[in-house]
Amino acid sequence: MAFTTTVMPTSFKVEILKGVHNFSASSGQTFKLALYNNSASFTAATTAYTTTNEVAASGSYAVGGGALTKVTPTSSGTTALTDFSDLSFTTATITAFGALIYNDTATGNPAVAVLNFGGAKTSTAGTFTIVFPAATATGAIIRIV
């Protein structure tokens, strides 16, 4: 039981085709990022947000995680992409091994992405920042190529 991979859930791919998710910055849905301890075992088969193994509330981190600031979907060359701004939790004592991005607006809080931090990341009464890649055709967190 541990984070082993950074992966896009298969259910998300299906939901993209069903039009479940809207990433538009102004008119889109609310997406959140929740942090988890090393007992979480998310895979491509993960379908939705869960409170099981989520880290405890601390500082500005509340159960359910933090809302993400979206980058409106766009294209670069023949690649479509969307991204998020970096997300910080302040005055927080947290140890997390990974995170789940999920749609907080859609029914059932469907999963969008499983993020593996590659090990324990800890803040003690400090800032815990998840850095998203630049919104480019080769770097953006969600790209359809």
Partner 1 sequence: MFELSFGKMDNPVVKTSDFGGLSCEDLSELCVNKIIEVADGAPSVVREQAKFFQKQVQKTIFEYLKQAKESERATCIQICVQGGEQDAANLLRKV
Whole-angstrom distance, CA of residue 92 vs CA of residue 89: 6
Please name the residue that has the structure tokens 């999963």. Answer: 111
123: amino acid identity, one letter: S
What H or E segment, with its residue span, contains residue 101? Answer: strand 87-103
Is 130 among the residues that bind partner 1 (CB under 8 A)? Answer: yes
Whole-angstrom distance, CA of residue 59 vs CA of residue 121: 16
3-state class (DSSP) for residue 43 = coil
Is 59 among the residues that bind partner 1 (CB under 8 A)? Answer: no
| Interface of this chain with partner 1, residues 88 to 117, rule: CB under 8 A | 88, 90, 94, 96, 99, 113, 115-117
Question: Smaller CB distance to partner 1: residue 82 or 109?
Answer: 82
How near is the Cβ of 51 to partner 1 at its closest, in Å? 21
Is 13 among the residues that bind partner 1 (CB under 8 A)? Answer: yes
Please name the residue that has the structure tokens 């992966």. Answer: 7
Is 41 among the residues that bind partner 1 (CB under 8 A)? Answer: no
Question: Smaller CB distance to partner 1: residue 27 or 116?
Answer: 116
Is 52 among the residues that bind partner 1 (CB under 8 A)? Answer: no
Six-digit token pair at 83? 């991204």
What are the Cα distances from residue 38, in Å, to 55, 65, 73, 95?
Answer: 10, 16, 32, 9
Question: Smaller CB distance to partner 1: residue 8 or 27?
Answer: 8
Is 122 among the residues that bind partner 1 (CB under 8 A)? Answer: yes
> Which residues sit at the interface with partner 1, rule CB under 8 A?
6-8, 13, 79, 81, 86, 88, 90, 94, 96, 99, 113, 115-118, 121-134, 136, 138-145
